[in-house]
Amino acid sequence: MGDFSETFPMDLSYWGVDDYRAGWVRALRRVDAGRDEVDSCLVTSITDPATANFVFCWPLYRRGTDVYVQNAVVFLGELADAFRPTEPWLSVEPRGTVDEDGNEISEWRTTIDEVRAFLSAHP
């Protein structure tokens, strides 16, 4: 988004590229549709949740016109409810800026306008 780009490994055994794209569009539309405060999530690597232990993702936290992105691992065995790949935001923790050890959590900041520009370029 904007001038920022990131590369990362992506498992293609459960989801194909089109599945990731569709999931990202759903997640970004959720951020766009929210008013001032909404959480969402971009799945960055997933294997079959029925047999996997974890899912890699980028939680998205919209606060007004700012959107904060963090890197996270969802441990499937620790969830109260089954992981839903089409609604991964249901398994994401609320935004925190400090971890349990008092360390600052790394995050990126972008804007809702950048999210909208990305959605316009990637319908």
Tokens of 45: 């690597």
Predicted local distance difference test score (pLDDT) of residue 35: 77
> What residues have CB less than 8 Å from 57, skipping those under 6 apart?
41, 42, 43, 44, 72, 73, 74, 88, 92
Specify whether the CB–CB gap between 23 and 44 falls below 8 A.
no
Overall residue count recorded for the chain in this entry: 123
From residue 28, how far is each of 10, 42, 79 by CA, in Å? 19, 8, 23
Nearest to 93 by CA among 72, 111, 110, 76: 72
pLDDT digit string (tens) for the chain, length 123 residues: 566 677 778 999 999 999 999 999 999 999 999 877 889 999 999 999 999 999 999 999 999 999 999 999 999 999 999 999 999 999 999 999 999 999 999 999 999 999 999 999 987
Q: How many other CB atoms are found less than 10 A from the CB of residue 99?
A: 10
> What residues have CB less than 8 Å from 108, skipping those under 6 apart?
4, 68, 69, 70
Predicted local distance difference test score (pLDDT) of residue 2: 62
Give residue-wise pLDDT tens across range 5-34.
Answer: 777 789 999 999 999 999 999 999 999 998
Q: What is the phi/psi pair of residue 38, to 5°?
A: -150, 145
Q: Show the domains of the chain with their CATH numbers.
A: 17-93+104-121 (3.30.2450.20)
What is the CB-side half-sphere exposure of residue 72 using CA atoms within 13 A? 28
